[in-house]
Each structure stands twice: as structure tokens, then as C-alpha cells.
Chains A and B, each alone.
Chain A
Amino acid sequence: MKIRKGFVLRPTLGYTLVVATGDLAGKFKGMIKLNETSADIWRWIDEGKSREEVIANYKETYSVDEATASHDYDQMVGNMRAAGVLESDQ
């Protein structure tokens, strides 16, 4: 799974905002607002970490159990896929 090229993460006033730049800017207008946990998941996916690695990091950073971590991860990925942020998996 890969995040499309061209998104800039910009911490602003307590949130992390995602702004599309370059060629992506024509497709994505406006911004995506991330809180602390969703920004971390975004970054880890962007670093190329697998589902298992992201969930392990998440559990460690936020001291949550496996079920919560995998639920949050799946929800975040679902949101990213719905928003068209991810490159197609093929």
C-alpha cells in the first residue's frame, strides 16, 4: 500500500493538515485534517511500513491493545482509500 506522491504534511495549530501539491493539487482541493494518532498512522504508512508494523508502533506509542490498534488502523486506511489518497493496490 502506498500513499500517492505530492501530499505535504503541515502541522498547524494542534492538527496536522495534509495539502496536495504539484499534479495532485488539481485533483484534491482543500485539505485533510489529521489528529495526532491519524497523523502518525499516515506517516508510518508513508514510510512503507506494513499493516503489522504500523499496528505494533501504534500499540507501543499510544499504549492501546491489539483490537483497538487494528480497528483504528483499518478505519484510517478505509478513510484514506475512500478519499483516494492511496495508490491502487495492483
Chain B
Amino acid sequence: MKKFSQLAIPYIVWMVLMLVLPVALIAMYSVTTHGNSIISFSFTLEHYKKFFTDSDFLLVLGRSLMIALKTTIICLLLGYPAAYFIARSSEKVQNLLIMAITIPTWINMLVRTYAWIGLLSDGGIVQQILKLLGLGEVELLYTEGAVLLGMVYNFIPFMILQINSALCKMDASLLEAAADLGASKAETFKKVTFPLSLPGVINGITLVFLPAVSSFFIPKLLGGGQYFLIGNLIENQFITAGEWNFGSAISMIMAASMMLMMMLVKKIEVRNNGGKEEV
């Protein structure tokens, strides 16, 4: 079967070219002084120093992580019960609901986010509903709330689908076994269902948290020009300021800090798995 293994070779070449090299380029730009070319090359850490010695930059990173965290928590709190509800429905209803959740994700994210501008703007439908509910005239667009809403809107389907698939994958006999051993519904959920759905939860968190940290069009569209997250900072460095080296350094820092966060989450998962000894 040696022949088949050669089928992977073209892609491996392409992968090195299109996936590895670009990342290497970012890393290289982040530690070189000016000049947008690889010919003049001189090593420096000034870009990293610039980022880490300025509290404003750090604050932007902190805020980006914070809003991503908030997004993730909201998605989890809303998404878990929803996924649970779907998983416990009849197969027909299940398929229907999954369809209902998937269809919007087929439609371009920007298009859907753009629609929220109209819904949230002054005098828009949402504001009028809130007014009818006696909440007064609340400013909605260009607030952190709007950004949070945009992120939850765009990313919650991933959370629901991931958790749902973990719940569906679970062997029904495990629940019967728990009941057989005397666990009530609530106890079964706490001791069996939830721990076993954790991989889905972790996947969901990854799929929500990662894009939420780096998103820059949601804050720009719904948060307004002064709503600046780490993604906007990077965009700004590349598109307007032309500081590619600094931009690359920020990208590296962001990627690293996210990887760190994900490792932390994975660790929590392992710990939750309770004294399981790997053989």
C-alpha cells in the first residue's frame, strides 16, 4: 500500500508552503526591525517590548480576552440547556431544530451582523420593544452590549452544535445504568451526563472563544470606531499604520495568549475527569 501513501505528498508540500511558511513569516516580522522585505534582516525585540511596556496595549488585550470570556459564558449558559433540550427531543424534532440552527450560519456572517445595525439603531425595532416594556430609551448601537450581542449571535450555534453532538453520542445505557444504581434524574445529570458532555463543552468553548478574541468586524460594525479590540489593533497596524513588524508581534502575542487559555481549559477538563490514570 506504499502507493497510496504517496497521495499525501503534494499536500504536504502545499501545507509547508501555505500554512507553515506564513506563520514563520509572521514570527520573523515580529522580531525584525523595519523594512517589509526578507533581504534586510536585523533582529530586535523592541516590538514585544513596546507592547508589554505600555499599559494601554495590555489593557486592549485584557479587554479583548474579557469580552471573549463574557461571550463564551453567555453562549455556554444559553447553549447548554438548548443543546440538552434538542438532544432529548424526538429524532424528527431534533433534525428540525439542528437545521434551524444551522441554516443561519450558512448565510454570510457580515451580512447577518450588518442586519443588527438596523435592528439596534436609534428608533429601531429592538429599542421600541424595550420602550414598550417600560425600559425607557436605551442606547443600544455602538455599546459594549451590542458587541457582546453580535458575538453571541455569531458564535452560539457552534456551542449548541458541539454540545448537542456530545450529548447525542452518549450511550443511552449509561443513563439507564446510573438510574439502575439509584441515581435520580438530577444526580444522573450531575454525575454522568454533564461530565460526559465536557468534551463537547470544551470544543464549543474553543469554537466560541477563539474567534471572539480576534474578531474585528463585529466590534467595528456594532461597537463603533472607538470600540477597539486586539483584532482592530492588528488590523490598524497592517492596513492604516503600516507597522507590520509591530502588528506581527501583536499577532504572535495574541496567538500565544490564546493557546495558553486553551491549554488552561483543557487542564480543567482533565482534572474534571477525576483521577483517571492514563495507561
Whether chain B is bound by chain A comes out as: no
